[in-house]
Amino acid sequence: MTVEELAREIGAEVTGDGKATITSAATLEDAQAGQISFLANPKYAKQIDSTKATAVILAPKIAATAKNVTLLRAADPYFAFMKAVIRLHGHRKHPFAGVHTDAHVDPGASIGENTVIYPGVYVGPRSKIGRDCILYPNVTIYEDCIIGDRVIVHASTVIGADGYGFATHKGEHHKLPQIGNVIIEDDVEIGAGCSIERAALDSTIIGKGTKIDQLVVVGHGSKIGPHCLLVAQTGIAGSVTLGHHVTLAGQTGVSGHLKIGNNVTIGAQSGVISDIDDQATLVGSPAMPVSHARRVYMLFTQLPDIVERIKALEDKIEELGSSSAGDGAEVV
């Protein structure tokens, strides 16, 4: 399609050759003639001068005057680029419809219309899968779990495995039956190799529109609010509550029974050990407000020098003390 046609569909304004043809999308570095790319961060604006892309989507405030590139200005460049990729490439086409013959769906389970279930999937008794869902190969859905509409679950993820519940008595660990379930609300996407544990007594809940990356664990009885982002290798212990629009960056760990407010952002590899108020941004282990963390880590990187300075001061004090004692003066 032409740049002008694409611009109309993604809500962008064209500067340059609107008649140029676009066939596909690529990164700024890899793009060639006939391809479109995007620029969201102003500090990479110089890359527009070297890209071979035919067109680039960028924000109105980013200064760029490239002679050989047509510019499409959009208020949200990444979102506009997403729409362009969908228009040019579309989503993955499934090789079959419905439930594959190599999947096992218990007769007591319920599957909604237009849901695609790949080979190796297991859906247990009394579980309910909504409409327009996709369950990729080897996904396991234990009994009594409920999955809403338009949910995507990637390969080898397990939903509804027993939570980590044991009663320790006289030095031995005794399993507590996990009689709850998991509820996945509408429009959730769960990456490959994740584990969403069933609750001990009630429900583990993943809120509407939440997106979960690969290798994430959500502990039993946790309540993840709507539109959260859980990035790869995040681990959430049991009975944690997340508000809406919470972002947990990669390898974040959250201790059990905590409450994290709305619109909270936690930096990568952080360790959360206390409740967090709304709108907070924290980093570090233990997680701390980002403004405080900057000072902490600035000093942390200087610790060897600080220790040497302290040793030098101690030696100087000892030397002064010995000198004063030798003169017969009282040292206080």
Whole-Å CA distances, 195 to 20, 201, 218: 47, 18, 6
Query: Among 92-106, 186-200, 283-297, which is the least confidently predicted range?
Result: 283-297
Residue 128: is its pLDDT beyond 70? Answer: yes
The token duo for 85 is 């990729």
pLDDT band at 325 (very low <50, low <70, confident <90, very high): low
pLDDT of residue 87: 95
Q: Residue 245 carries which side chain, given as an amino acid letter? A: H
- Contact by Cβ (8 Å): 134, 98: no
Cα 50 from Cα 73, distance rounded (Å): 19
Query: Among 86-90, 288-292, 298-302, which is the least confidently predicted range?
Result: 298-302
pLDDT band at 43 (very low <50, low <70, confident <90, very high): confident
Instruction: Report, as an integer, the average pLDDT of 3-11.
Output: 95
Catalytic residue among 89, 94, 174, 220, which?
A: 220
pLDDT of residue 67: 73
Residue 29: is its pLDDT beyond 60? Answer: yes
Please classify residue 141 by burial: count the beta carbons closer than 10 Å to its beta carbon, then call 0-12 exposed, 13-18 middle and 19+ buried. buried
pLDDT of residue 57: 94
pLDDT band at 321 (very low <50, low <70, confident <90, very high): confident
Query: Among 29-38, 241-250, 288-297, which is the least confidently predicted range?
Result: 288-297
- Contact by Cβ (8 Å): 116, 132: no
Omega cis (within 30) before 77: no
pLDDT of residue 46: 83
pLDDT of residue 192: 98
Residue 326: is its pLDDT beyond 70? Answer: no
pLDDT of residue 318: 86
pLDDT of residue 66: 66
Query: Among 83-97, 171-185, 262-276, 306-320, which is the least confidently predicted range?
Result: 306-320
Q: What is the per-residue pLDDT across 223-232, written as a single tens digit (0 to 9) for each?
A: 999 999 999 9
* Catalytic site includes residue 220: yes
Query: Among 35-39, 151-155, 264-268, 320-324, which is the least confidently predicted range?
Result: 320-324
The pLDDT mean for the chain works out to 93
